[in-house]
Amino acid sequence: MEERIKSLESVIASGSEAILPNVEIATDSASPRNDEEEATSSADLALEPVDILISTQSASLANLNITETLSSEKLLTALDTTVSGIFKSLGDTILGNTTIAGDLTVDGTFSISQNSINALGANTSEVEGSGILFLQNSPLAQGLNIFNGLVTINKEGKLVAEEVQAKQFSITEGGAAGKGTLLKGQTEIIINNTYVKENSTVILTPTTLTSQNLTVTTKVNGGFLVEINTPELNDITFDYLIIGQGKKVGSN
């Protein structure tokens, strides 16, 4: 009987090992695992909490260093930006108040440097050479005002200034200067000129020897009358210059 019991225990023992080969069987010397030691071992790894590692739409960065290229297909917003190298904008750029600490060059043909403005080449058929600076050349431009109205130029080319000083003045043909001839035997001649106004000043300079004074006796819009006292035996030629009178500089 005892032999049969021992044989059965042997069969049971061998069957348990076949069914549970990887299960540890507790023995009298087994001791419980120390959970505090395991927790301390995990804490020594200094792992970040999972919720900190997740970036949301409202996430912000305190410091961001980029050593190569920053690319953004959508809006990039920054409060303050400092670029120590070259900043390139290959599309349209909108700027608010802008301070430039150096020179400004536009398309290689226009530059602003300190207190000077320069154009570096714009050939036209009217003016030979290059380096032409155009001011108010838009069809919608109305005029140019310098020194708060002391010098103004309107869109018709009229220049108004407090004082003009030059080495020489040239008047184009058909303008406010011209020539006239008082024929022999006559005492008066009418000179038609669109620049003459009733308040114009007309200066006459005879170019023929004469003992008489040529006098402007009448001025109307568009012409003036030149007279002498007695007829001459020869033609009298003369030059004339018309000086218009305008409003005081700065007045409306």
Residue % of the chain over a pLDDT of 70: 71
pLDDT digits (tens, 9 = 90+) for 134-176: 889 899 999 999 999 999 999 999 999 988 999 998 988 889 9
Please, which residues bridge with residue 204 across strands? 240
Specify which of 52-61, 108-117, 130-139, 140-149 reaches the highest per-range mean pLDDT. Answer: 140-149
How many other C-beta atoms lie within 10 A of the C-beta of residue 228? 19
Whether 215 is in a domain gets the answer: yes
Q: Is 210 contained in some domain?
A: yes
Which pLDDT score is estimated for 203? 96
Do the beta carbons of residue 108 and residue 120 sit within 8 Å? yes
Please indicate, yes or no, if residue 158 is contained in any of the structural domains: no
Alpha helices, DSSP H only, in the chain? 2-19, 35-43, 50-53
| Structure-model confidence comparison of residues 175 and 120, the more confident one | 175
The whole-number pLDDT of residue 249 equals 61
- pTM of the predicted structure, to 2 decimals: 0.55
145 lies in some domain: no
In a domain? residue 232: yes
Q: Is residue 227 situated within a structural domain? A: yes
93 domain residue, yes or no: no
Number of domains in the chain: 1
Domain that residue 230 falls in: 177-243
Report the sign of the C-alpha dihedral through residues 74, 75, 78, 82, in that order: positive
